Amino acid sequence: MAHVDLWGGVECSHNRVGDKFFDQISRSGHLNRISDLDLFAAIGIKKLRYPILWEHVAPTGLDKPDWCWADERLNRLQKLNIDPIVGLVHHGSGPAYTNLLDPAFPVGLAAFAGKVAERYPWVNYYTPVNEPLTTARFSGLYGFWYPHGKTDREFIRALYHQVQGTRLAMQAIRLVNPAAKLVQTEDLGYTQSTPLLTYQAEFENARRWLSFDLLCGKVSPQHVMWHYLRDAGLTQAELLSFVDDPLPPDILGINHYITSERYLDEHLVAYPLHTHGANGTHRFADVETVRVRGVERKGIKALLQEVWERYQLPIAVTEAHLCCTREEQMRWFKEIWEVADNLKASGVNIQAVTAWALLGSYDWNSLLTQKNNHYENGAYDLRSAEPRPTAMVAMLRDLAHKGTYNHPVLETKGWWDREERYVYKHKKSYIQSPKHQLMNTHEHVAPILITGATGTLGRAFAQICKERGLTYRLLNRQEMDITNAQSVEAAIAIYRPWAIINTAGYVRVDEAEKDSDRCFRENTDGPAILAATCKAHELKLLTFSSDLVFDGTKTGSYTEEDPANPRNVYGSSKLLAEQEVLKILSTALVVRTSAFFGSWDKYNFIYHALHAFMSENAFTAANDVYITPTYVPDLVNISLDILLDDARGIWHLANKGTYTWAEFARLAAAVARIEDIKLIETEMINMGLPAYRPRNTALSSIKADLMPTVEDALYRCVHDIMMQMQHDNASAQKLKEA
């Protein structure tokens, strides 16, 4: 069977908010990194959605274009045999001398398009304006982007100018290249509602087609949106001009996100304030359908079939992306790929699925209205010196060349089809029982084996694997003793894993000074046995090391390249484990970390500090030892991501920030808003600990900047700890009263 093609795309939004422009390709570094194109070619991408933006080439006027960047990039794409799908405006309002409400916008865009075609006559695919309807809503109806309109008239005028600009642009392009093809993109979703709001859902479901309907000449006086468009200010002549002179796209580009499907509900009390809105008749919440129990999504298959039945034109999925954990990104793309492949086999003319945001994107969580540096990675992760391939790259490469890809993590449904997706509840009259409930683990799926069932880290891996839909088995020493090769072999024979995560080991740093044989057996011999077994069975291995492999004499944080020199037994056992594991299994992933804290157990520094402060008791902490505290959920999530990415060798993972123990305690108190704390600061030597503690074991990484700051982690952690303390106090009070 012939599979759909794999296309790619670079997030290139260049929107404007007030007098500030938000430029994605500058923020991603792609503006200055032509080598990215070679990375894309190595995947096997056939076509690439690529920006030659009006705002970039002619920011001060069409009489002063700068083609240097475009020349270099398009010439490179030619040499790499990748067809560019050239985008001219991407969520923008044009350069500063125009905007979406400017009557000159369509003519200006056409003039620019003509110049692009003249300079690159070999380019055959164009998207003059990306997602005209979506851009018009954000710029003309919701007021998010320039020119910040908030009325139907401004929304419709912005939409008309973009669609008219697209028509004029393609006319100008085809004067140079008659074979040029229009790939018109639009975000496509579907709206459902309670019975009361059926009229609003029907309106939105009709409105979603406007970009395509206008271009295809379908908006005649009989069209369901005709009177709305006329009332919003479009003239009969403007509308009929598309009926008389249509521009049906050569390829309909469908962008679809998990948030594209919406649900409307007038029962506002069930939904958070930020979801509330109104239409002049009713107030209602507008939420993601996927989060509402009892309401089934229409889904990408039904939406693509609907597009095909409505237009009978070639289709491509031109954006397929999910901001989520690594395996969920993979599941989402694989699901869309398989739907497109199956529809193609059934006779629907679907040509491709696009790996969108190959380099990721910035600040879409604020809809590009704020610069908060919120980064969501794409197939490549930019939080390294060079774009780092994630597990998505291996999947995309196989899809491009073979049309299929398999991995155990893909055997579980994505979160959008699991029970934990639900956030909102309804009045019972509007819901039905869910059609199915999916478990997080499946007997037939190869699991991850997690050692250390009684430890903080092992339990955290189990909890987060469950949340992420990763099939796992958490094993205690009786089920798999890592110091016994036969026990390890037996467990592998029973469970048939694809990876082992080792969190077991000797953790009592001070007792290790007098119990070195056991410490080395559990911390060194055990991981070495796991490495040998994983090598024999071709399994992935993740094991953990410690900041105590360093002697503390360095000024500044230690990186993966710094020489280790442990000063206590525990640190020596961890360093020898690193060496033995990587000598046996060079593909193993060894994560160094330090100073755990979290809210899932009470055996960590922050819990004890906050408990003392809340009880108005004194708390003692060292003020001369520097560490990088590590929030356990962050450590686990990032470790799972890079394990899937096939990371290997030694990696440092700790939250960003260097603190003494005393400073860390003060920061936690500040985050918890506890005043007048009784903190006793002292030197480490006065703590009376048997094992030597280096004065500085701060960690940082030269491989990737993946972990959030300590302060960010504390804001997430402290709230949960305080809630747990309140619960414990209330329980204790009830027992006392009883």
Q: What is the predicted pLDDT for the residue at 435? A: 38
Based on the fold, state whether residues 408 and 454 are members of the same structural domain: no
Flag whether 431 is in a domain: no
The angle at the Cα of 642, spanning 598 to 648, to the nearest 5 degrees, equals 120
- Residues 541, 534: contact at Cβ < 8 Å? yes
Per-residue pLDDT of 453-464, as tens digits, reads 999 999 999 999
Task: State yes or no: pLDDT of 263 exceeds 90.
Answer: yes
CA atoms within 13 A on the CB side of 9: 27
Based on the fold, state whether residues 382 and 520 are members of the same structural domain: no
Flag whether 721 is in a domain: yes
Share of the chain above pLDDT 90, in %: 93
Per-residue pLDDT of 525-557, as tens digits, reads 999 999 999 999 999 999 999 999 999 999 999
Element (H, E) at 13: none
Q: What is the predicted pLDDT for the residue at 738? A: 63
Pairwise CA distance, residues 189 & 257, whole Å: 8
Share of the chain above pLDDT 70, in %: 97
CATH number at residue 287: 3.20.20.80
Flag whether 441 is in a domain: no
Q: How many CB atoms lie within 10 A of CB 269?
A: 5
Q: What is the predicted pLDDT for the residue at 428? A: 46
Q: What is the predicted pLDDT for the residue at 735? A: 72
Element (H, E) at 305: helix 299-311
- Residues 441, 472: contact at Cβ < 8 Å? yes
Which tokens is 437 given? 């409930």
Task: State yes or no: pLDDT of 342 exceeds 90.
Answer: yes
Based on the fold, state whether residues 31 and 110 are members of the same structural domain: yes
Based on the fold, state whether residues 123 and 174 are members of the same structural domain: yes
Q: What is the predicted pLDDT for the residue at 730? A: 74
Phi, psi of 593 (to 5 degrees): -150, 180
Element (H, E) at 648: none
Based on the fold, state whether residues 410 and 457 are members of the same structural domain: no
- Residues 578, 591: contact at Cβ < 8 Å? no
Task: State yes or no: pLDDT of 352 exceeds 90.
Answer: yes
Based on the fold, state whether residues 415 and 508 are members of the same structural domain: no
DSSP state for residue 339 in the 8-state scheme: H
Which tokens is 57 given? 């080439």
CATH number at residue 622: 3.40.50.720
DSSP state for residue 565 in the 8-state scheme: -
Which tokens is 458 given? 């092992």
State the chain's maximal CA–CA distance in angstroms. 91
Based on the fold, state whether residues 114 and 208 are members of the same structural domain: yes
Flag whether 738 is in a domain: no
Element (H, E) at 534: helix 526-537
pLDDT band at 724 (very low <50, low <70, confident <90, very high): confident
Task: State yes or no: pLDDT of 511 exceeds 90.
Answer: yes
Q: What is the predicted pLDDT for the residue at 473? A: 98
Q: What is the predicted pLDDT for the residue at 427? A: 54
Flag whether 543 is in a domain: yes
**Three-class HEC string of 222-264:** CCCCHHHHHHCCCCHHHHHHHHHCCCCCCEEEEECCCCCEEEE
Range of the domain at 56: 5-421
Per-residue pLDDT of 406-447, as tens digits, reads 999 999 999 999 999 999 875 543 443 333 333 344 557 999
Per-residue pLDDT of 467-476, as tens digits, reads 999 999 999 9
Amino acid at site 499: A
Element (H, E) at 545: strand 540-546
pTM over 0.75: yes
Based on the fold, state whether residues 371 and 471 are members of the same structural domain: no
Task: State yes or no: pLDDT of 1 exceeds 90.
Answer: no
Write b or e for each residue in 79-96: b if 16 or more Cβ atoms lie within 10 A of its Cβ, otherwise e: eeebbbbbbbbbbbbbbe
Which tokens is 670 given? 């500040």
147 preceded by cis ω (within 30°)?
A: yes
Flag whether 652 is in a domain: yes
Count of the separate structural domains present in the chain: 2
- Residues 374, 28: contact at Cβ < 8 Å? no
Based on the fold, state whether residues 516 and 658 are members of the same structural domain: yes
191, 139, 198: which is closest to 18 by C-alpha? Answer: 139
Per-residue pLDDT of 44-96, as tens digits, reads 999 999 999 999 999 999 999 999 999 999 999 999 999 999 999 999 999 99
Phi, psi of 191 (to 5 degrees): -115, 130
Flag whether 233 is in a domain: yes
621, 598, 736, 738: which is closest to 677 by C-alpha? Answer: 621
